[in-house]
Amino acid sequence: MPPFQPIRFGKYLLLEKLATGGMAQLYRAKIVGVQGFEKFVALKQILPHLAEEKEFLGSFIDEAKLAALLQHQNIVQIYDFGNVEGTYFITMEYLFGKDLRMIAEKARERNLSFSLEHSLHIISRVCSGLDYAHKLKDFHGSPMSIIHRDISPQNIIITYEGDVKIVDFGIAKARSQSTITQVGLIKGKVAYMSPEQAAGINIDHRSDIFPCGILLYELLSGKRVFTGETLHILEKVRRAEFSPPEEVVKGLPSKVYQILHRALAKEPGDRYQSCGEMLADLEECLFELSMRPTARGLAQYMKDLFKEEISSEEEVRRLGAAVSTIDEGKPEKEEKPVEKSREVPSGRAGEGAPGSKKNAFARYLLLGAAVGLAVVLALVFWPRGAPVPAPLKEAKTSPAEPAVSQPAKEEAKTPSAEDQAKSLENEAVQLIESNPEKAQALLLEALKLNPASVYGHFQLGLARLKMKEYPKASESFSKASELDPLFPDALFNLGYLFARDRNYARAEEMYARVVKLSPSYLDEALFNLAVVQGKLGKKAESLANLEKSLAVNPNNEPAKKLFEKMQKK
């Protein structure tokens, strides 16, 4: 490939393309201003062919608006958001450093493990940044209820100056966001999820505390908390099943074990109730152990660990500083006003292409964009004239199949069959609504490459539902539920299809299994269970489940009406 030539982009000079993902591309750039003013930034552009896609654009705008509100020393800073000749972009601080995953790999290579002092300090800074985000209020003083949802090694950067930064709020969720998240949604890296997030149920800020415990455990032990194949990891995470820290890393102070156990409690109510609480315990522990960690000490550790890399990156920085102007005499591209965000639905997240090896910052941003921007919304309604006394709730759409973070590659390789399959799946989910036949063809091709993909079988079921090929849709959902028996959305849709065929006994079985899994749409599952039980003549069971549905959600109008109707009878 020829060397990258600097490009003028509004008031920015794009110096180097760092990475390209499925939804965006990232550049190392600098602001070129008057009187020789210059500043290095990272600039992320939405890919040109997605600029007209309302769903992707809406998510990109949501990310920019949310991230711009976060002003904390332990959170990456957003500088600008705009549109230059139809290309939307975000600029943020350019971090010279490495993410925790790369640091851990390098530490193993050089046998320079994290000290207890550094480990406690790093997680205390992460807790500080998260506590700020969780408690952030909007301009009207209302809590924004921000949840990061993807606290993992790739999203914690340590700079060569010893600063700890949380990055990638691309899939974070705030109450005020314009996009709508569907029930059962799983976003983030599966090995760093909380049990409730892995189960696809409602989460709150305490979900971010569990991965903080995972990171501390892994920094101290040098070992992964959850290992294995994706589906096996998902099961372990749901059950919070891992080796006790006392067995994995011996000889730690009792206070450290107490912090780990409380942060890694399966039930949110047993965990720290805020990151501020965990931060207070970490700081108290450091004080009791007479430790005084500093950014300078962490910076020295980073400089010892990445001596060669720092030298080469400094050279890149000097080369960038030498580039001042290009295309002299040509006018700059005119910047257009920022488009207001629109009400657009967002759904299941797809997986993005891997980033460049040039900088950890590039990888985490593009992965976050890919995870946060893919959109699917498949709604299937009960047909008119059905014999069931009230309409069943909509068929469920699925979460993207989460990816287990893999070690960074040192060179580009031919995509694996699994990677090719995921690419086809991501392309297919965007076509289910508009062209389900094409989506089906892509998903069948993907399943030839990766027959064990729960996500692929589920999405194939949705495409077939859209095409009204109900027996084939049932086959696809059955396969998805065989591969993952704890996947409530597949079971819910099977219940729908059995009920549609008036096989109420099987429908009852499916809905009962969904209820046991207690998903975030539990009231809907209880309502549908009550409907089919009523059809089977099980009036007492039906009434009991309607009562449970209303106890979970008193505003479930179909359940309320059916309950009143059955009581009158």
Catalytic entry in 150, 208, 281, 484: 150
Better-predicted residue by pLDDT, 363 or 123:
123
Average pLDDT of the residues in 316-329: 50
Query: Is 50 exceeded by the pLDDT of residue 229?
Result: yes
Q: Which has the higher per-residue pLDDT, 236 or 346?
A: 236
Cα separation, 289 vs 381, whole angstroms: 61
Active site residue 150: yes
- Dihedral sign (CA 64, 66, 67, 71): positive
Of 374-383, 447-456, 551-560, minimum mean pLDDT range: 374-383
- CB-count exposure of residue 51 (10 Å: 0-12, 13-18, 19+): middle
Mean pLDDT, to the nearest integer, of 119-141? 92
- If you average pLDDT over residues 500-510, what whole number do you get? 92
Cβ(167)–Cβ(364) below 8 Å? yes
Q: Is the pLDDT of residue 406 over 50?
A: no
Query: Could you read off the pLDDT of 464-485 as tens digits, one per residue?
Result: 999 999 999 999 999 999 998 8
pLDDT tens digit sequence for 251-308: 999 999 999 999 999 999 999 999 999 999 999 999 999 998 989 999 999 999 998 8
pTM score:
0.56
Q: What is the mean pLDDT of residues 388-400?
A: 48
Q: What percent of the chain has pLDDT over 70?
A: 75
Q: State residue 232's pLDDT score.
A: 87
Q: Does the structure show a pLDDT above 90 at 566?
A: no
**Per-residue model confidence as pLDDT tens digits over 300-315:** 999 999 988 887 776 6
Maximum CA extent, the chain: 84
Side chain identity at residue 448, one-letter code: K
- Report the alpha-carbon distance of residue 169 to residue 486 in Å, rounded: 28
Total residue count of the chain as it appears in this document: 569
Q: Which residues are registered as beta bridge partners of 188?
A: none
**Residue 473, CB half-sphere, CA atoms under 13 Å: how many?**
27
Residue 518 reports pLDDT greater than 50: yes
Determine the average pLDDT of the residues in 416-443: 86
Measured distance CA(126)–CA(163) in Å, rounded = 11
Task: Indicate whether 320 pLDDT > 50.
Answer: yes
Q: For residue 22, is pLDDT > 70?
A: no
Quick one: pLDDT at residue 196?
Answer: 93
Domains in the chain with CATH codes:
7-95 (3.30.200.20), 97-304 (1.10.510.10), 360-404+417-568 (1.25.40.10)
Q: Mean per-residue pLDDT for 168-175?
A: 56
Predicted pLDDT at 553: 82
Q: What confidence tens digit (pLDDT) does each residue in 49-106 have?
A: 666 666 667 767 776 777 778 889 999 888 888 888 788 898 988 888 999 999 999 9
Predicted confidence at residue 523, as pLDDT, reads 84
